[in-house]
Amino acid sequence: MEPTQPKVLVVDDEPNIIMSLDFLIRKEGYQLFIARNGKEALEIAQTEKPDLVVLDIMMPDIDGYEVCKRIKSDENLKHTKVIFLSAKSRESDIQKGLNQGGDLYVTKPFSTRNLMKEIKIFLNQKA
Amino acid sequence: MNKALIISLFLGYLAVLFLVALLLEKNNKLRKKIVHNPYVYSLTLAVYCSAWTFFGSVGMAANNVLEYATVYLGPTIMAPLFWVVLRKMIRISKIQNIISFTDFISSRYGKSLSLGRIAAICLALGIIPYIALQIKAIDLVFETIQFWGDTESTAGSSWLDSGFFFTLIIGIFIILFTTRKTIPQGKNDSLVGAVAFESVVKLIAFVAVGIFVFMQTDQTNTGNLSTWVEGASFQLNDNNSYAEWFGMIFLSGVAFLLLPRQFEMAVVENVSEKQINKAIWFVPLYLLIINFFVMPIAISGNHLLSGFTVDPDMYVLAIPLALDNSFISSVAVVGGFAAASGMVMVSTHALSKMLSNSVIMPYVINKPFIAKSFENHSQKIPIFFRRVSIFLVLVLAFLYHQISTELFSLVSIGLVSFVAVAQFAPLMVGAMFWKLGNCHGAIAGLLSGYVIWFFHLVVPSIAVLDIYPESFVHWTILGGASSQTSAITQVLFWSLLVNSLVYVFTSLFTQQTAIERNQAEIFVDVFRYSKIYESSVVWKGTAYFPDIKSLLERFLGAQQAETELAYFSKKHNIKWKANSKADGKLVTFAEKQLTSVIGSASAKIMVASVVKEERIGLKDVVNILKESQELLRFNKELTRKSSELKRATDALKRANQKLQANDELKDEFLYTVTHEMRTPLTSIRALSEILVDNGAELPEDMQTQYTTTILKESERMSRLISQVLDLENFESGKHKLQLDHLNMVELLEDCLTSMQPVFEKKGIEVSLDIQKTVPTVMGDYDRLTQVVLNLLSNAAKFVPEKSASIKLTAYQVEHKIQVNVRDNGKGISKELQRVIFDKFFQARNQTIRKPKGSGLGLAISKKIVQLHEGQIWVDSEPGKGARFSFTIPLNTRF
């Protein structure tokens, strides 16, 4: 793979989600990184500097909002796009996610087609 | 001692008195202090002790008549009642601005003009002889002085000079004292000071004479006091002494409160009800002291002066004169002056006020010629008529003195006056304690009592003057009276009996007027009404503010009127425009203000002249009275009601909050459920989409993995749905427990058996430790199985892949069976332990994630255990596994 290929970090503790996103993201030719909790996500973000993060909110340690906030306030990561992918579907949850600097908020259950479309748009913009 | 010295003593004394008054008038601070002092107040009540006390008591005692003591025992016994009676009189007078005894009576009985008039005239009839008595005492003083050695003037002087002189001087003095200005609240502070001063002077003088007698008698060669006392024999009148004593005590007790001079000092001049507290004991003490030396002086006089023709009434003065001590003689003279002038001053002041307010002014106040002659000086009208009345009272007293005082001793005239005043007792008691007493009854009772009094006590004295045939005297009930005291008590008894009966029955058989009903209510229940007086007066009619204002200005003066109206406006928060109508409150207020200046009768007339009053039916009054009575009760009720309301509101608020909370819980639950469903649904949707979109590209094994996952997640969905329904059914009570005698050992073994395939598959080592002897419990087999299976499958989910173990134990603890499921998984954090059984867990803890797949299983288990009246909990430390336990009570009776 080309080193210039965009990097995508998927953060979720649900194996089925990872299983499906794994296939779809690789299929598009992006580099995929997987984190199963907030702490792991921040570590990978620091080292790999992904172009885009698909972020769950409810996680055992650091929640997705906090992860997003830290990524967005990090000088090295400020260009990283964040897509929340969460079962939390209240208007207030969505608003909170966007206020923390999230670029998009997708509620579960989600359409893989639409999600991938959005991911491509973000990554193409970057390119 | 000579007449010139006496006259200069007299004038000197009056000058001192005047200076006292002047000092008080100039020095505001001192005046306030004096007037508010309860001892000063008590001293002013001692105006009761007149010249009759100062000279007459000794006279009576000298004649072996001990009944003189009753005159002082009466008030002493009555004193404790001051708190009930006097306080009520004061309170009523204060709220109604009453400034005289007749105002008091006529106010109570419907502001009746005729009752006020009759009462004033009756009192004048009763009191003027009493004033005359004081003049007589002064006359006697002069005579006694002349008898002892003022030889040069015996030829030229006559008794007429001294009495006339005294009356004239006192008259001028009273006019100076009491009518220099109208006094708004009817209070005359300098009068209070002067009267208190006089009380001190007469007490000191009498005690001085007493001590002098004690000290001097031993030095005379005719014997000494102690031997005389041994020889003296005092006897009570044998015939009817108990009744007489009682009658006399009652009479003086009543007189102490109802005599115009007493009412004036005790009620009108009172500034604080608290003063009564001191008066209750101080007045009796004063009376005791002033009577202490009566007996010694009387006994000494009888012995020392036996050779002379001296009236025993004058022993107090004659003894020092006979012993030739001019200093003590002068002291005695000054004391006599003080006693006489104090009584005359206050009585004349009170009587003149009644006569001008109740008799003269109501006739003339509204006459055009009066308005014309006073034009812009309406304030001077009351002063003018007050002066006229003073003059009238003193002239009548002097004339009476000239005609008849020769015939009586000092004491008897006093007692006759007492009986006259006592005629007011029934209507006064009724005024304050009986709401049904009315004006007709008061007039009828008073007049009937006075008729009896007049024909049995007054006529006999005139009869001796040959105006009536002597047989007339014997025709009366006094024909057989054995003594003066007996005559007094008999007349007292019969007159009061007839008076009371006539008053009561006339009241019962005649109608009260509307105002009367109103006033009766306020008088009798004064302590309840004092705060709401102005609004508890019933009044209907039309009046205009400017009229009321100009009326007040006429009699109070512009400045005073302004002040009073400003006060009223502030109190009731009312502002008037030029042509505002005045309401009942203002009219009542204005009438009250005028009452203090011109008396209630005239005030009523003046107010009526500017007000178009409507007749009020008795029914209205009763209704409004009820209202204002109920207003007070209502207030209490209202407070109670509003606190009740507050409680109800609070309860409602709480209920509402609970409802809202329930609503929120419902929302949360729904949210939780949908949230739980989102997870499997998400997997199903995502995976199926991938399968549909990329079916061809996917390797076969991945396709199989995807479809298997979809299937598993669909099962998870179905399980979740049935769990939700279960929980809902438990909570709504649709699911009932199917109770049976359960053997827990069997139940647990069945569960293990059904889980065996899972355990084997995962390679979990299962151990079982069950106390075989546990008794059976009452429970639902299927539901409890559900609980155990839930716990076991949870455990199976969280045990580590290697060396996994689950331990199932059960034993009896007290009256419960406890079941434990222990795993060696990663454990549960404290934070999670708290919420793990909570069905709303997800929603409330927005970002802490419940372990996957737990769903609602624990929430349902908790519900089932609770339905069995047991408990469920978890013990765990992160990294050290978890132990879920539940208990089922053994003796539960469902």
Task: Give percent of chain B above pLDDT 70.
Answer: 83
Q: Does B569 touch chain A (CB under 8 A)?
A: no
Measure in Å the smallest separation between the Cα of A25 and chain B Cα atoms: 12
Chain segment A86-116, per-residue pLDDT in tens: 888 888 889 999 998 899 999 888 999 999 9
* Position B275 pLDDT exceeds 80: yes
Supply the pLDDT for residue B537. Answer: 57
Q: Looking at beta carbons, which residues of chain B come within 8 Å of A60?
A: 848-849
What amino acid is encoded at B585 in this protein?
K
Supply the pLDDT for residue B746. Answer: 87
Measure in Å the smallest separation between the Cα of A3 and chain B Cα atoms: 25
Q: Looking at beta carbons, which residues of chain A come within 8 Å of B706?
A: 19
**A17 to chain B: nearest residue by CA?**
B683
Average pLDDT of B207-225?
A: 72
Q: Does B675 touch chain A (CB under 8 A)?
A: yes
Q: Looking at beta carbons, which residues of chain A come within 8 Å of B694?
A: 23, 27
Q: Looking at beta carbons, which residues of chain A come within 8 Å of B698?
A: 23
Supply the pLDDT for residue B119. Answer: 92
- Note whether A4 and A48 are within 8 A (CB): no
Supply the pLDDT for residue B615. Answer: 57
CB neighbours of A25 closer than 8 A, spacing ≥ 6? A8, A10, A32, A119
Nearest CB to A20: which of B686, B846, B849? B686
Task: Give percent of chain B above pLDDT 90.
Answer: 12
DSSP of B773-829 = TPPPEEEEHHHHHHHHHHHHHHHHHHS-SSS-EEEEEEEEETTEEEEEEEE-SS---
Structure tokens at B806: 């689950």
Other beta carbons within 10 Å of B793: 14
In the block, tokens 């003049």 appear at B135
Supply the pLDDT for residue B581. Answer: 75
Supply the pLDDT for residue B186. Answer: 60
**B708 to chain A: nearest residue by CA?**
A16
Separation between Cα atoms, residue A30 and residue A32, nearest integer Å? 6
- Note whether B36 and B194 are within 8 A (CB): no
Contact A23 B709 (CB under 8 A): no
Decide if the complex's ipTM is over 0.85: yes
The helix/strand/coil state of B110 is coil
Q: Does A24 touch chain B (CB under 8 A)?
A: yes
Q: Looking at beta carbons, which residues of chain B come within 8 Å of A59?
A: 847, 849
**A56 to chain B: nearest residue by CA?**
B847
CB neighbours of B445 closer than 8 A, spacing ≥ 6? B426, B427, B499, B500, B501, B502, B503, B504, B506
* Position B728 pLDDT exceeds 90: no
Write out the E strands in B316-415.
none
Chain segment B280-308, per-residue pLDDT in tens: 999 999 999 988 888 888 888 887 777 77
CB neighbours of B133 closer than 8 A, spacing ≥ 6? B50, B51, B52, B401, B405, B408, B410, B413, B414, B417
* Position B623 pLDDT exceeds 70: no
Measure in Å the smallest separation between the Cα of A16 and chain B Cα atoms: 6
Contact A19 B687 (CB under 8 A): yes
Bigger pLDDT: B600 vs B836: B836
Residue (of B446, B410, B496, B388) closest to B115 by Cα position: B446
Q: Does B852 touch chain A (CB under 8 A)?
A: yes
Supply the pLDDT for residue B315. Answer: 86
Measure in Å the smallest separation between the Cα of B797 and chain A Cα atoms: 15
Other beta carbons within 10 Å of B79: 22
- Note whether B139 and B162 are within 8 A (CB): yes
* Position B850 pLDDT exceeds 80: no
Q: Looking at beta carbons, which residues of chain A come within 8 Å of B848?
A: 58, 60, 63
Supply the pLDDT for residue B157. Answer: 46
The model's confidence at residue B825, banded by pLDDT at 50, 70 and 90, is confident
**A88 to chain B: nearest residue by CA?**
B675
Nearest CB to B686: which of A17, A57, A60? A17
Contact A112 B690 (CB under 8 A): yes
The counts of H helices and E strands in chain B are 39, 9
Contact A20 B693 (CB under 8 A): no
Structure tokens at B797: 């989910």
The crossing angle, in degrees rounded to 10, of helices B101-108 and B87-96 is: 80
Q: Does B846 touch chain A (CB under 8 A)?
A: yes
Chain segment A28-79, per-residue pLDDT in tens: 889 999 998 889 999 999 999 999 999 998 887 788 999 999 999 988 888 8
Q: Does B571 touch chain A (CB under 8 A)?
A: no
Bigger pLDDT: A78 vs B420: B420
Residue (of B561, B545, B543) closest to B553 by Cα position: B561
Contact B702 A27 (CB under 8 A): no
Measure in Å the smallest separation between the Cα of B764 and chain A Cα atoms: 23
Structure tokens at B720: 């979740």
Q: Does A92 touch chain B (CB under 8 A)?
A: no
Q: Does A95 touch chain B (CB under 8 A)?
A: no
Q: Does A109 touch chain B (CB under 8 A)?
A: yes
* Position A5 pLDDT exceeds 70: yes
Checking DSSP bridges between strand B777-780 and strand B739-742, what pairing results, if any?
A: antiparallel
Separation between Cα atoms, residue B502 and residue B376, nearest integer Å? 46
Measure in Å the smallest separation between the Cα of A39 and chain B Cα atoms: 14
* Position B368 pLDDT exceeds 80: no
- Note whether B103 and B116 are within 8 A (CB): yes
The model's confidence at residue B601, banded by pLDDT at 50, 70 and 90, is confident
Contact A20 B679 (CB under 8 A): no
Supply the pLDDT for residue B426. Answer: 93
**A57 to chain B: nearest residue by CA?**
B847
What amino acid is encoded at B18 in this protein?
F
What integer best gives the mean pLDDT of chain B? Answer: 80
Nearest CB to B682: which of A65, A90, A109? A109
Please tell me which of B195-204, B323-332, B611-620 the model is most confident about, judged by mean pLDDT.
Answer: B195-204
Separation between Cα atoms, residue B646 and residue B333, nearest integer Å? 75
- Note whether B125 and B420 are within 8 A (CB): yes
Residue (of B547, B613, B622) closest to B578 by Cα position: B547
The model's confidence at residue B718, banded by pLDDT at 50, 70 and 90, is confident
Q: Does A63 touch chain B (CB under 8 A)?
A: yes
A66 by Cβ neighbours in 10 Å (0-12 / 13-18 / 19+) ranks as middle
Contact A110 B685 (CB under 8 A): yes
Nearest CB to A14: which of B679, B693, B694? B679
Bigger pLDDT: B467 vs B871: B871
Contact B678 A24 (CB under 8 A): no
Across the A:B interface, residue pairs with CB atoms under 8 Å apart total: 80
Supply the pLDDT for residue B616. Answer: 57
Measure in Å the smallest separation between the Cα of A90 and chain B Cα atoms: 9
CB neighbours of B15 closer than 8 A, spacing ≥ 6? none
Supply the pLDDT for residue B614. Answer: 60
Q: Does B685 touch chain A (CB under 8 A)?
A: yes
Residue to test with chain B: of A17, A22, A23, most B Cβ within 10 A: A23
Q: How far apart are the first and last CA of chain A?
A: 16
Bigger pLDDT: B622 vs B894: B622
* Position B146 pLDDT exceeds 90: no
* Position B893 pLDDT exceeds 70: no
Average pLDDT of B446-464?
A: 79
The crossing angle, in degrees rounded to 10, of helices B113-147 and B410-422 is: 170
Separation between Cα atoms, residue B42 and residue B281, nearest integer Å? 9
Q: Does B705 touch chain A (CB under 8 A)?
A: yes
Q: Looking at beta carbons, which residues of chain A come within 8 Å of B709?
A: 16, 19
Residue (of B826, B828, B827, B823) closest to B765 by Cα position: B823
Nearest CB to A112: which of B671, B686, B849? B686
Supply the pLDDT for residue B716. Answer: 82
Chain segment B539-582, per-residue pLDDT in tens: 666 777 877 887 787 777 777 788 888 888 887 777 777 667 77
Q: Does A94 touch chain B (CB under 8 A)?
A: no
Average pLDDT of B76-89?
A: 88
Q: Does B198 touch chain A (CB under 8 A)?
A: no
Supply the pLDDT for residue A81. Answer: 92
- Note whether B435 and B520 are within 8 A (CB): yes
The model's confidence at residue B475, banded by pLDDT at 50, 70 and 90, is very low
Residue (of B596, B603, B97, B599) closest to B357 by Cα position: B599
Separation between Cα atoms, residue B75 and residue B256, nearest integer Å? 6
Nearest CB to B849: which of A60, A112, A113? A60
* Position B4 pLDDT exceeds 80: no
Residue (of B612, B548, B552, B616) closest to B586 by Cα position: B548
Supply the pLDDT for residue B479. Answer: 44
Nearest CB to A87: which of B682, B697, B713? B682
Nearest CB to A109: which of B681, B702, B706? B681
Q: Looking at beta carbons, which residues of chain B come within 8 Å of A93?
A: 846
The helix/strand/coil state of B289 is helix
Measure in Å the smallest separation between the Cα of A22 and chain B Cα atoms: 11
